[in-house]
Chain A
């Protein structure tokens, strides 16, 4: 029998993909400078850096929180938190596409409400994914939403002070 050390279930690490999530953060990072009165390269680079940083923090803090709060699930499947976060945060895609529509077709300078709503709702969705795997309690939805609220506020403030 084939053994996969470090993984208690059949789903290996290759099944958990985060690139669509980071791509969405990247899209928000690209759009944000266009809502400024003048577009410049420095703002774009800083915006990309801030957005990817928020993305990395969001993904990793959520995984940490889910792992810390659901030890029973973690014992049953070491990958449950990564799977829940990657599936839940996949739902950033509609928000990213709608932000492109709003900025470049409808001409609204309102990218950050899209980004903020995206991470708050998808953090809650990741929590729902954890609950679907058998975790009890609404804490798995409320704590990620609170974390997302804090991160999105910080993200908006940083984008706001960019040159």
Chain B
């Protein structure tokens, strides 16, 4: 008799694996990963970055502390509701339902893809607070770009390994996120 039960992978390890080997996580581990935890990671990543953007603008005297708090909250909304909406959009476009891929799985996988962004967000915040550096552009752009790889593997899985479609959708997602952040900066929030 086999008494060995399959060991559950800790959630932090799954999040870390999403940075190193997203293909494996998307294929085998995402079904066991609850979507609220994933959204917590993307929400935290975005709110920390928007906080850094606010701090950068406050240091140059463009905004007050109240606007910094408002920006952080906007980041939280962008990283949760925004990412969920983007995931649903790609889910619909890729006709993932035909491959028995649920909306919950898609939102969870998309959001967990921002694990590398979270690492950059934390590092950026440390540099911003400890040394007073203006970290928003350098760390945010790099962090967001590193999230493209998990996004790509998620879309590949959803679209039935269609490479061209995955590349086009990943580009669209990256463009929406970069432009959205740039627009907020232009409004001087």
Q: Taking A91-B170, A101-B175, A113-B142 as given, write out 13 further A-B residue pairs in contact, using a Cβ cutoff of 8 Å, ordered by the A residue number.
A: A90-B163, A91-B149, A91-B152, A94-B170, A98-B145, A98-B171, A98-B174, A98-B178, A106-B178, A113-B138, A113-B141, A121-B149, A125-B152
- What residues of A have a CB within 8 angstroms of the CB of B145 in the complex? 95, 98, 113-114, 117-118, 121
8 A-B pairs within 8 Å (CB atoms) are namely A87-B163, A90-B163, A90-B167, A91-B170, A94-B148, A113-B145, A116-B142, A125-B152
Check if B20 sits within 8 Å of A94, measured CB to CB. no
| B residues 151-189 touching A (CB-CB < 8 Å) | 152, 163, 167, 170-171, 174-175, 178-179, 182
Which residues of chain B have a CB within 8 Å of any CB of chain A?
20-21, 23, 137-138, 141-142, 145-146, 148-149, 152, 163, 167, 170-171, 174-175, 178-179, 182
Contacts A110-B137, A141-B21 given; indicate if A91 touches B167 (C-beta within 8 A): yes
CA distance A97 to B174 in the complex (A): 10
- What residues of A have a CB within 8 angstroms of the CB of B152 in the complex? 91, 94, 125
**Residue on B with the closest CB to A106?**
B182
**Residue on A with the closest CB to B152?**
A91
CA distance A118 to B142 in the complex (A): 10
**Residue on B with the closest CB to A142?**
B20
- What residues of B have a CB within 8 angstroms of the CB of A98 in the complex? 145, 171, 174-175, 178
Give 8 nearest A-B pairs by CB, closest first: A117-B145, A94-B171, A121-B149, A94-B170, A106-B182, A128-B23, A98-B174, A97-B171
**Cross-chain contact of B21 among A114, A118, A121, A138 (Cβ < 8 A):** A138
A127 to chain B, nearest CB (A): 9
- What residues of A have a CB within 8 angstroms of the CB of B170 in the complex? 91, 94
- What residues of A have a CB within 8 angstroms of the CB of B20 in the complex? 124, 138, 141
B3 to chain A, nearest CB (A): 27
A15 at the interface (CB under 8 A from B): no
Check if A121 sits within 8 Å of B148, measured CB to CB. yes
- What residues of B have a CB within 8 angstroms of the CB of A116 in the complex? 142
CA distance A114 to B174 in the complex (A): 12
**Residue on B with the closest CB to A109?**
B137
A93 at the interface (CB under 8 A from B): yes
**Cross-chain contact of A93 among B137, B171, B175 (Cβ < 8 A):** B171
CA distance A114 to B137 in the complex (A): 12
A142 to chain B, nearest CB (A): 8
CA distance A108 to B138 in the complex (A): 11
| A residues 99-115 touching B (CB-CB < 8 Å) | 101-102, 106, 108, 110, 113-114
Of A98, A101, A128, A141, chain B has the most CB atoms within 10 Å of the CB of A98
- What residues of B have a CB within 8 angstroms of the CB of A102 in the complex? 141, 178
